[in-house]
Amino acid sequence: MRISEPKLLAGLAKLDVELRQGTSLADLTSLGIGGTTDLLRIKKHESIPCLLRLLDDSHIPHKFLGGGSNLLVGDGELPWVVLQLVRPDPEIVLEGNFAHVDAAADLGRTVTFCAKHDLGGMEGLIGVPGTVGGALRMNAGAYGMQIGSYVREVKVYRAAARQIEILRGHQISFEYRHTSFAPDDMMLAVTLELPSKPFKDILEGIRICNEKRRSSQPLGQKSAGCIFKNPPGASAGRMIDELGLKSLSVGDARVSDRHANFFVNAGKASARDMLALIADVRERVHKTYGVELENEVVVWNA
């Protein structure tokens, strides 16, 4: 979708929103799949209510992009624009055991920055790519921990109320790859409360998690992490593996031969290829195990 209306272009300039026309989402997602659309880069949280009113008035639908590491985006010209927060400087401010972090901050950098200040707890998140905002949306986690456990406050744009609000930790429920945020809420910043821990102990935890990832995940290949959520008490990867589906492919979309719940773009896979592979694997798992696998990857269909 292209923004061309002069009134809207003038409104964006006034709000200091940067317009990047015809951006390829394949270049902005870890799967390397996706068509093109206009990208709007937001420099100030306070401009969001006005920006969304402008887009609504011009009947322009939008999606919200973090780091693009949990997304499968449709092919071709996309029927919506994409909004993304610009990272501020500084992106993290520490106050005792509290870390005030912008949603656009890189998650890995946040973990290491806090570690250098003897604040731990998030070691398991070290290899999870993407932004802090994306991690909040999905309640990212690994190796027995999840970001939600440390959230004390979230600054969020609530589309329903059309305003920025502060939510306390107890007002939000964080479950396995699921949160109580509304689908059109935009996380803008978070306050985390982290336990004090000596830097060298945190580093050792990080080393162990890195080692586990390196030994089990196709880290050099284009993926979006796990495609499916684990059903209660079971492992999606184990079921796919038991069915002998590692390396199954549709075009260049392939089930990783290293981790059966990672589907990789082994060349020039299209969204169509990847969706066909996902549907095929889901059907085979359902046939054998009677389990309907739910996507962990977020699909933005064209």
Ligand X SMILES: Cc1cc2nc3c(=O)[nH]c(=O)nc-3n(C[C@H](O)[C@H](O)[C@H](O)COP(=O)(O)OP(=O)(O)OC[C@H]3O[C@@H](n4cnc5c(N)ncnc54)[C@H](O)[C@@H]3O)c2cc1C
Enumerate binding residues for ligand X (CB under 6 A).
Answer: 30, 63-71, 103, 128-131, 133-135, 137-138, 140-142, 186-187, 217, 223-225, 298
Strand partners, 255: 263
At closest approach, how far in Å is the CB of 109 from ligand X?
A: 12
CB within 8 Å of 15: residues ≥ 6 apart: 44, 47, 50, 51, 54
- Residue 230 or 270 with smaller CB distance to ligand X: 230
- Residue 138 or 250 with smaller CB distance to ligand X: 138
Structure-block tokens of residue 124: 């398991």
- Residue 118 or 302 with smaller CB distance to ligand X: 302
Question: DSSP secondary structure string, 249-300?
Answer: EETTEEE-SS-TTEEEE-SS--HHHHHHHHHHHHHHHHHHH---PPBSSEEE
At closest approach, how far in Å is the CB of 74 from ligand X?
A: 14
At closest approach, how far in Å is the CB of 125 from ligand X?
A: 7
- Residue 135 or 293 with smaller CB distance to ligand X: 135
At closest approach, how far in Å is the CB of 10 from ligand X?
A: 27
215 burial (CB, 10 Å; 0-12 / 13-18 / 19+) is exposed
61 burial (CB, 10 Å; 0-12 / 13-18 / 19+) is exposed
- Residue 13 or 93 with smaller CB distance to ligand X: 93
At closest approach, how far in Å is the CB of 38 from ligand X?
A: 16
